[in-house]
Structure 1
């Protein structure tokens, strides 16, 4: 169901179901914090894909040397648009890693198949389920220091389908009802690797990985370390409960918060072409890979950048 701001707040207070609750009415859609302003980009063109999130970068060849000036301007675009896209970039996985290293140390993911290098997560899909797709999530929030961001390159693009969506979780926080914000202010939530991967691993491996990666706590609302934006930082794949609340209340609020990524106004949808690349800020977004291309293959390689402890 959809509910008004008043009803959404009352539903949370009274414990009524809000499983599918999205607040009705106009939404505040701003790419920046109030004190920030957009500045022109001098080293490339920018084509926003919507008023809020996502932009294509034009006039940059990632095969060529990326100067510090270009890197800085690309970083500014990443912070502004949360996810930036590049078309017609015929690079290989080695160059993909070189570019990512300009933003920091590279991360490995023990749960995803590796490509030519341990830092490459390879997603080769097609005829065989199960799949990591069709779920909104933020990457690796089960880590104490979730990824700063990731660069995704499609090696093989299906003839149709296989899009990816991103949602701006600062906008999701901005538009929460005020008393919902009060309910979650200062709260932390538990993030656990097991829910996101339980269907892919047998019990023995699950226990092994849980010992290696025990549950961690992160703020329900994190502050972006560079922009200062307050950002909703829970996701259905890995967030299991809000600390200090009983299970029923925690589940009710989390269902409501999870649903906020579903608002189309907060989203951008990207249709892949050969040699397309996406670079997203994992601190500010959730994403959703659409599995609608069966039985055609879709092969992607992702390189993630080590982040910091959310606060």
Structure 2
């Protein structure tokens, strides 16, 4: 599917409210405006449709590690250019369920008129049902409702840092199961025979996977809470009631406003986030209006926790 096939007028009424944002910090040609102490920054002075210099790429990597999610305004970027930008940071993932753009199959289409996107309207980290969840993702706004449709991101490292020492110790050695069927049930994603066959193939290829509850970031070495409402089904080794209670506490803790930033999309907006240290929530408050987003997902590595040595993680 191409952009031209939509024939859509991409428009927006509101703009983000940046009360309390710190002054822009010059970094070469780029200007960086942090949005909160925990997470988020606006980066200006860069055209994502143009090939990145090595200096710009390195600067964006550093900013991503520092702010966890970066926002870019006023970008005119095609799906192929979005793909090319994302590929600077690693090979791209092909999603097993969502449709893709014909001329750039690495770009998935999140279209409320094509797919049931209820799985995005909760706090989640992308594709943690994989042995090697994504490093990050690049999301471009293609068609926006008149109002609503914001996206929130939360810092899982800030959430970890705010835990008591006792809770940190309790979580240090635990693992949890992540299952794609938790957000992609057959009842919603197997409506036709073709969809059902695709779902069954995916189920066979992607059985539930076990990840540490506390993940150590492979580049910053910071700890982060690595469970999410979208895909985490149970904490291993605990009784069902204990697991449910612990996950409920962690999900509520991660969603606190202190750890999050809320982004109001405008025409030409692009977001780039570190999937290893964040969660996000696409607010589903704009029906019956349509919302279309394009996402490029960058492949990552296998999560490791405090119990895993440097040798074992490879």
TM-score w.r.t. the length of structure 1 is 0.84
- Offset at 1:258? 1.2
Q: Who is 1:302 aligned against?
A: 295
Q: Helix, strand or coil: the match of 1:302?
A: strand
After the TM superposition, which of the residue ranges 201-210 and 159-168 deviates more from structure 2?
A: 201-210
Q: Quick one: distance in 1 between partners of 2:286 and 2:115?
A: 12
Structure 2 residue 98 is matched with structure 1 residue 112? yes
Q: Who is 2:72 aligned against?
A: 86
- Contact 2:116-2:188 within 8 A present in 1 as well: no
- Offset at 1:65? 2.9
Q: Quick one: distance in 2 between partners of 1:130 and 1:297?
A: 12
- Offset at 1:52? 1.8
Structure 2 residue 50 is matched with structure 1 residue 64? yes
Q: Helix, strand or coil: the match of 2:105?
A: coil
Task: Show structure 1 runs of 4+ deviating over 6 A.
Answer: none
- Contact 2:121-2:284 within 8 A present in 1 as well: yes
Q: Helix, strand or coil: the match of 2:188?
A: coil
Q: Helix, strand or coil: the match of 2:183?
A: helix
Q: Who is 1:281 aligned against?
A: 274
Structure 1 unaligned regions, length at least 5: 1-38
- Contact 1:89-1:276 within 8 A present in 2 as well: yes
Q: Quick one: distance in 2 between partners of 1:76 and 1:110?
A: 30
- Contact 1:127-1:294 within 8 A present in 2 as well: no
Q: Helix, strand or coil: the match of 1:109?
A: coil
Q: Who is 2:127 aligned against?
A: 140
TM-score w.r.t. the length of structure 2 is 0.83
Q: Quick one: distance in 2 between partners of 1:146 and 1:47?
A: 29
After the TM superposition, which of the residue ranges 108-117 and 224-233 deviates more from structure 2?
A: 108-117
1:1-311 pair list within 5 angstroms: 41-116=27-102, 117-125=104-112, 131-198=118-185, 199-202=187-190, 205=197, 206-311=199-304
Q: Who is 2:18 aligned against?
A: none
Structure 2 unaligned regions, length at least 5: 1-24, 305-314
Q: Quick one: distance in 2 between partners of 1:96 and 1:202?
A: 30
Q: Quick one: distance in 2 between partners of 1:96 and 1:165?
A: 21
Q: Helix, strand or coil: the match of 1:107?
A: coil
